[in-house]
Structure 1
Amino acid sequence: MLKIFLGLFLTMLHLFASSSQSVSEVFPDITMTWVGISSLVIFVIGYYFIAAEDKYHVDKAKPALFIGTFMFMLIGLYYVLNDLDINILSNDMNHLILEIAGIFFFLYVAMTYIETLISMGVFDRLKYNLISKGYTYRKLFWVTGFLAFFISPIADNLTTALILSTVLITIDKNKKEFLVPGAINIVVAANAGGAWSPFGDITTLMVWTAGKGVFTDFFYLFPASFIGFIVTSFLLSRFVPNSKPAFDISKETKPELMTGANIVIALGILTIILAVISHQVFHFPAMWGMLFGLALLKLYTIRIVKKYNSPLNIFHSIAKIENNTLLFFFGILAAVGALYFIGWLGLAVVVYEPEMLGATWANIAVGLLSAVVDNVPVMSAVLKANPQMGLDQWMLVTMTAGIGGSLISFGSAAGVGVMGKMPGVYTFASHMKYAWTVFIGYVVSVAIWYLQYEILQISHL
């Protein structure tokens, strides 16, 4: 499967390179120079080591951080040697750093809240409430999947995936036949749920703010997203044991929540709302609202520590954050940003031409490509290329870019987040074992979109 995706990626790049008319007018076209070719080779090699994390036992953050920084160092060297305007590169890097910082700190705050809730016993209580009902592993699989699908449109797919993957490992840390399908199900559900909400995923937010559809237009993607998720979940559920977790309710004590846990949960919800307000109303980066929410959490801990002598320490929660996940995000986004700056991603518009793939097949391919590269820069490239498409095609690329990332474990922010929460369990290799179920769901989602938008022509009020 990896070879198929890499083959598709390289084939599309070859097609992009056949046209020079679509290259960004801002940056010099250096795709066919030594730095352009070498950067592409470096990216592919680095991507291989990221994908083969289990084989070489090299943390994915290391190759990602290396290629992300090294590629820009090469570009800088090329600009100096050829006496090009270094300010172009400097300005682009400043914009890239701002974009990465937005994701970096958003994830930083989300992880801090999750670790805080873990330390306060919230997930132990949720685990107790779920298992004490006598649910089997298979029923728990369905419950966590549905929660992910319906929470992600509000809380965003990344935060949702992080929360519910934590629930999985609190239920059972060792049963991989439950954890792996459950993790994939959560990633698929979170991405599918985020696809039909303007702020459920970064890509949908990008399309909405670019004016390609009004707020309610995205809700019409619900049938395609939901049915595709259900199909994948049904196939995955066949591999989940129907037995019950080892849990004797008569011998278990109901976990106690630390004082103030309910307030922290409320602050977490408020933080998500603040992030939306920060971005939509104030036009700040969403992470600004998240950081303000973190500040509120820190202030609240001062009160409960003084009033109730609580052992809660936010800095202890911060210390437990998976820094490798944060560094992986930085590295991979920097690497993709370098590919875009060089000109590889900016050439994507050529595939939308009727004599090439055409809009429908190009948008379907975008979903496959987003699993290999990352849906955010791929969607950014599509928006920058701005092919002439109607609402139906913009909704298609929104959906495919959103759910296509589920095809590979690190093809989406949700997948990367879950890999960080479940190291050694949810990996690239374990995901690819069941990737065919995700692909079938992807095909079903596209088929539902075609029936709804192209045949029945149901797309907006």
Structure 2
Amino acid sequence: MTRVEDSVQAIDLAVEPFGWLLLVIFIIGYYFIAAEEKYHINKAKPALFTGTFMFMLLGGYYAANGLDFSAFDVEIAHLILEIAEIFFFLFVAMTFIEALIERNVFDALKERLLSSGYDYKKLFWITGFIAFFLSPVADNLTTALILSTVLITIEKNNKVFLVPGAINIVVAANAGGAWSPFGDITTLMAWSAGKGAFTDFLFLFPASIVGWLITAYLLSRFIPEGAPAKIENTEPVKIHRGGKVIIFLGIFTIASAVIGKQVMHLPPMWGMLFGLSILKLYAYSLKRYHNSDIQIYKSVSKVENDTLLFFFGILAAVGALHFAGFLAHAVNLYTIFSPTVVNIGVGFLSAIVDNVPVMSAVLKANPALGLDQWMLVTLTAGVGGSMISFGSAAGVGVMGKLKGVYTFGAHMRMSWTIVIGYFASIAIWYVQYEMLGLYIKP
């Protein structure tokens, strides 16, 4: 059976002036996305405009030249399906997080850390471990935002502690997200595209945690001695009624997505939406029988819509480049160079450009890779974004939370620790997949 992505390319516009115009529009649009802080414009705005405008131009070009729209129609249908799967998955995940925030689950965690009396080094390691193990479920951006808020609450002015602590959270959140299909949008994209079963991604755990631990150890050497002032005589924060049940429902929802994908051949968003339906029913029962209102609609209203629209725009823009034929040329890199070398380079490109469009481009190009290489590019795209502060959603989020403290320059002065951890992760991958052969050859 011919796959959709193998049949959509009708005309190679990459060798036409119109195709070059599309590429220029993409570059200009991405410049404004990357320069979000400079122009104070949310990156969703240029991303959404660029993605939709490029396809408006493509549609106009086909109409003006009287071309057959069948390939265009197939591309649009495939793109809508791809985006919808990711869009609704993230929508449900964000709704669960907002519901947990509303029930004081994360405030209770923050209060325990603040009243613990731990010194700086212990707080550094505790926040790092929480970030690494929370991001596979809560996603790397949400995890980084929660824990960076904890950091700035613990200590507002001590940059010697805050900078390495913030970098540690970003690296841990990205590394934790790399081995779970739920932890990073790039991993979710690879799983949704069928590049590996759910359990295949779990084999990336050793590479992810070793790389982070090495970086964290190097960063910990810059953590000062001493401890922040302990907060005493404060009322303990209590989790509201239903908070612990929602945690269980979140785990059940993830299990539904996994079983639905692996056993029932349903897209992951289907299991997520099923879990959301149960959450809404549970919210109804709490209000009716216990007079405790989760205010689920307020949780939905707080979902970061700009994040969802950013993903829509950037995936549409990459889809336009794919339809125009540019990615068909880019895939030649995998025949010119070793796939391992190219995939390691993907990690560095992810740090510069952002890992979402890079991973989208690789998946659209769809090179003929074995499972080992698909796991490598998932690892490098996820972890590689940590090398530059704006290379991942987690980094951008923490820069916003710790303005003037966690900056591009502060991050780059310690980025060498991340590069060492990055290559350590790749070394672990090489031992697992190439030396021990923990993969299935195509």
* TM-score of Structure 1 vs Structure 2, range by shorter chain: 0.7 to 0.9
Q: Check if 1:130 corresponds to 2:113.
A: yes
Residue pair 1:102, 1:287 contacting (<8 A) in 2 also: yes
* Alignment of structure 1 residues 419-458 onto 2, 5 Å: 434-450=414-430, 453-454=433-434, 456-457=435-436
Separation (CA, whole Å) in 2 of partners of 1:59 and 1:427? 18
- Which of 61, 73, 80 is matched with 1:97 structurally? 80
Amino acid corresponding to residue 86 of structure 2 in structure 1: I
Q: 1:199 to 1:221 in 2, by over 3 A?
A: same
Match of 1:340 in 2: 322
Q: CA deviation at 1:307?
A: 2.5
Q: Check if 1:286 corresponds to 2:268.
A: yes
Amino acid corresponding to residue 459 of structure 1 in structure 2: L
Residue pair 1:275, 1:289 contacting (<8 A) in 2 also: yes
Match of 1:3 in 2: none
Bigger shift: 384-393 or 342-351?
384-393
Residue pair 2:118, 2:227 contacting (<8 A) in 1 also: yes
Match of 1:10 in 2: none
Q: CA deviation at 1:451?
A: 5.0
Residue pair 1:35, 1:75 contacting (<8 A) in 2 also: no
Match of 2:345 in 1: 365
Instruction: Render the CA deviation track for 1:197-218: whole Å, top value 9, x for unaligned.
Output: 5665565566667776676665
Q: 1:324 to 1:216 in 2, by over 3 A?
A: closer
Q: 1:228 to 1:102 in 2, by over 3 A?
A: same
Separation (CA, whole Å) in 1 of partners of 2:134 and 2:310? 25
Match of 1:9 in 2: none
Instruction: Render the CA deviation track for 1:81-110: whole Å, top value 9, x for unaligned.
Output: 222222322321222122222222222222
Q: 1:426 to 1:111 in 2, by over 3 A?
A: farther
Bigger shift: 407-416 or 362-371?
407-416
Amino acid corresponding to residue 30 of structure 1 in structure 2: L
Separation (CA, whole Å) in 2 of partners of 1:384 and 1:310? 47
Residue pair 1:24, 1:346 contacting (<8 A) in 2 also: no
Q: 1:377 to 1:84 in 2, by over 3 A?
A: farther
Separation (CA, whole Å) in 2 of partners of 1:40 and 1:383? 18
Separation (CA, whole Å) in 2 of partners of 1:417 and 1:284? 32
Residue pair 1:232, 1:440 contacting (<8 A) in 2 also: yes
Bigger shift: 62-71 or 364-373?
364-373
Residue pair 2:171, 2:418 contacting (<8 A) in 1 also: yes
Residue pair 2:186, 2:355 contacting (<8 A) in 1 also: yes
Q: CA deviation at 1:126?
A: 0.7
Q: CA deviation at 1:360?
A: 2.2
Separation (CA, whole Å) in 2 of partners of 1:352 and 1:91? 26
Amino acid corresponding to residue 169 of structure 1 in structure 2: T
* Alignment of structure 1 residues 116-127 onto 2, 5 Å: 116-127=99-110
* Alignment of structure 1 residues 186-335 onto 2, 5 Å: 186-197=169-180, 201=184, 203=186, 218-238=201-221, 240-249=223-232, 251-335=233-317
Separation (CA, whole Å) in 2 of partners of 1:56 and 1:234? 36
Separation (CA, whole Å) in 1 of partners of 2:194 and 2:88? 26
Separation (CA, whole Å) in 2 of partners of 1:223 and 1:214? 17
Q: 1:421 to 1:66 in 2, by over 3 A?
A: farther
Amino acid corresponding to residue 28 of structure 2 in structure 1: I
Bigger shift: 263-272 or 85-94?
85-94
TM-score normalized by the length of structure 1: 0.81
Unaligned runs of 5+ in 1: 1-22
Q: CA deviation at 1:242?
A: 4.7
Using the aligned pairs only, state the percent identity: 60
Q: CA deviation at 1:237?
A: 3.5
Match of 1:349 in 2: 331
Separation (CA, whole Å) in 2 of partners of 1:426 and 1:318? 30
Match of 1:459 in 2: 438
Q: What secondary structure sits across from 1:31 in the alignment?
A: helix
Separation (CA, whole Å) in 2 of partners of 1:80 and 1:428? 45
Q: 1:419 to 1:338 in 2, by over 3 A?
A: farther
Unaligned runs of 5+ in 2: none
Separation (CA, whole Å) in 2 of partners of 1:198 and 1:262? 23
Q: CA deviation at 1:169?
A: 0.9
Q: What secondary structure sits across from 2:332 in the alignment?
A: helix
Q: What secondary structure sits across from 2:13 in the alignment?
A: coil
Q: What secondary structure sits across from 2:139 in the alignment?
A: helix
Match of 1:84 in 2: 67
